[in-house]
Amino acid sequence: MQIKNKYVVITGANRGIGKAFAEACAQQKAHLIIAIRKNDEKLAAELKKAGAASVEIIESDLSTRAGVDHLVQILQSKKVDLLFNNAGQLTGGLIEEQSIDDIYKMFQVNINALVQLSHGVIPQMVKQGSGKIINHSSVSAVMHFPCASTYAASKAAVWAFTDCIQQELKGTGVSTLCLFTPGIKTRMFDEIDVLYSKNMTVPQDHIPPEIYAQKILKAVEKDLTHLEPVGTTGAVFGLAKHFPSLFNMGVQKAFKR
């Protein structure tokens, strides 16, 4: 899919990877529909300046069913060519030390909202015979580190959901892209150290969000169904995918209770 003049919805685009992808789409002259928790006129002005054909901000908190209902209702009255389910939260640490309230909120944002938003816009995409859903999974969906139990479970669910709908949508003109994102230097990346480092040696490799946004854009243009890591992380990702017991043995060495 070429992004120029397309109507692109991005959740969680006020910072991190979502913001970097919004900027990349603005440079391609897309119409941007930015779903964020708090209105941000400065961001809208920046995106217009970067080249966006139009920018609309919709205030939405995805941590409640009512918040997602509200966003779906608005999107159903619009043309949507691309939906990037990007917003996400991190939970982590030994399972018994994680907050149940935080776990509920994280699952709501990372998987329930993503499923409901996809469910909400797919009918109009199928009707128009075109569209794309990008779902933000993670290397954690495949590389199962201790201390990442609940977050990894949410991202494995994103992967399974996206693969299933990809098959359902064959022949409709609507496609999906699942992102198996490695370490990207955002606020979430910095939170990993805080939550995991008491029990784990945390890998420090990371990519700037602007570089990763360009990789996502290329994957959209080439209509890839999966974006997987490359280099050393790519090799370890492959090991975890095809030889999980070998991966787990290596990871145990980096973990202490």
Ligand X SMILES: NC(=O)c1ccc[n+]([C@@H]2O[C@H](COP(=O)([O-])OP(=O)(O)OC[C@H]3O[C@@H](n4cnc5c(N)ncnc54)[C@H](OP(=O)(O)O)[C@@H]3O)[C@@H](O)[C@H]2O)c1
Q: If DSSP codes are grouped into helix, strand and coil, which group holds residue 256?
A: coil
Distance CA 155, CA 167 (A): 19
Tokens of 9: 């919805």
Could you tell me the CA-to-CA distances from 77 to 32, 46, 156 in Å, in that order?
A: 15, 26, 31
- Asked whether position 134 contacts ligand X by CB under 6 A, the answer is no
Kindly indicate which of the ranges 73-81, 185-193, 221-229, 237-245 contains the residues binding ligand X, using the contact rule CB under 6 A: 185-193
Q: Is 42 in the site for ligand X (CB under 6 A)?
A: no
Q: Which of residues 14-33 bind ligand X (CB under 6 A)?
A: 14-18
Q: How far is the CB of 87 from ligand X (least distance, A)?
A: 4
The nearest distance, CB 62 to ligand X, in angstroms, is 4
Strands (E), 25-81: 31-36, 54-59
- Least separation in angstroms between CB 19 and ligand X: 7
Nearest to 30 by CA among 48, 44, 14, 12: 48
Quick check: 181 binds ligand X (CB under 6 A)?
Answer: yes
Stretch that binds ligand X, among 13-21, 41-49, 75-83, 93-101 (CB under 6 A): 13-21
Residues in the chain, overall count: 257
Footprint of ligand X on this chain (CB under 6 A)? 11-12, 14-18, 37, 61-63, 86-89, 109, 136, 138, 181, 183-184, 186-189
